[in-house]
Amino acid sequence: MPLRQQVVFLALTGLLLLVILELVRRRRLRVEYSWVWLASGVSIVLLILRYDLLVRLTEAVGAVVPTSTLFMLCILFLAALCLDFSVRLSTLTRQVKDLTQELALLRHEGEARVEGGAGEPAHAAPEERIK
Amino acid sequence: MLIVIPCRNEAGNLPAVVAELRAARPDDDVVVVDDASRDATAAVARGLGCEVLRLPVHLGYGGAVQAGIKLGLRRGYDVVVTFDGDGQHDPADVEALAGAVAGGADLALGSRFQAPGAYRGGLVRIAGRRLFAGLCRALTGVALDDPTSGLKALGPRAQALFATSRFPDRFPDADALVVAHRAGLVLTQRPARMRPSRNVHSMHDGLRPAAYAANMALSLLVAALGRATDLRE
């Protein structure tokens, strides 16, 4: 790989890594998500410095051009990331459902207590009173 | 006994449904689960003297009915009955379902195919029910002929199971029955004289029929292949 390309891409990757670290530092990105991005940044650096590794991998998997190996790796990475997000979304969906139900049950309990105790009109939920 | 009515925008139908239910079952508690309705469902239900669980965000039928089941489980009811809010179900059928649970079943399902003259729905729905009943039987050996019925009576073990994350909460039908069967629950069915829904759009229309069928088939497969639930978990 020509030196000029190496310098340009190293600079770009370095910037990417800095952005990731800054996001983590500002708590905009949770640490457990950041390692995937950091790992991908580091592997890009590795491939820029040691292009021969990519060539060897290309030969190993039987691809013709190193670029297609690179694209394959990118697509695999994105697919894995999407799968990971789907799993996290499923967890979040279940958690939101459980919390919603819990909230409804607690609100009901609270209303029943108000009804039994202070004699307030039980048919007015808090937000209806505000309206 | 607790009767759970999951509702979304049923303010128009609730008075008739609850009145009929109260006339037939004066001693039972009724809880209306308001699935983030945009109409006055919750206020109407309170006006009718029902308990109301108001979900702050829309969860769909499964999440709504599960909220009611959780309430029943926490209060320790012997039987929790799930009952549709659109006038499909006949309160007269509740007695036989509750009797089946009292007689030792964990879950009793109301079946329109056991009741002569019950409304069966259009051709597509009949075909769909047959398909899921067949799949259900093929995958698990559970022979229940109306697996998409929303009229169910749940004993304490079924309540406990359906309150867990093993409950298929998107749209619990045949898959919920398979999960129950795999958990070792005793399932049975009783005749139910279903009627046409009073609504043009029911909660059950949320999924387009084809998408629904595909989802249910997959959900059934998952339920059948999934790890059998240990209730002691």
| Per-residue model confidence as pLDDT tens digits over B97-137 | 999 999 999 999 998 888 776 666 777 777 777 787 887 77
Distance CA B19, CA A41 (A): 66
Average pLDDT over chain B reads 86
Answer yes or no: is B231 within a domain.
no
Contact residues, chain B to chain A, C-beta under 8 Å: 33, 42-43, 46-47, 51-57, 59, 63, 66-67, 70-71, 74, 165, 169
Q: CB within 8 A of A72, min separation 6: which ones?
A: A61, A63
A129 touches chain B (CB under 8 A): no
Answer yes or no: is B233 within a domain.
no
* Number of A–B residue contacts, CB under 8 Å: 46
Answer yes or no: is B230 within a domain.
no
Q: Looking at CA atoms only, how far is residue A91 from chain B in angstroms?
A: 11
Provide the CATH number for the domain around residue B120.
3.90.550.10
Number of structural domains found in chain B:
1
ipTM: 0.84
Q: Which of B42, B43, B71 sits opposite A105 (nearest CB)?
A: B71
Largest pairwise CA distance in chain B: 46
Residue-number span of the structural domain to which B173 is assigned: 2-225
Answer yes or no: is B47 within a domain.
yes
Answer yes or no: is B232 within a domain.
no
Q: CB within 8 A of B72, min separation 6: which ones?
A: B2, B4, B31, B80, B154, B159
Answer yes or no: is B51 within a domain.
yes
Q: Which pTM value belongs to this model?
A: 0.80
Answer yes or no: is B60 within a domain.
yes
Answer yes or no: is B148 within a domain.
yes
pLDDT class for A127, splitting at 50, 70, 90?
very low
pLDDT class for B202, splitting at 50, 70, 90?
low
The 10s digit of each residue's pLDDT in A71-118 is 998 899 899 889 989 999 999 999 999 999 999 999 999 988 887 765
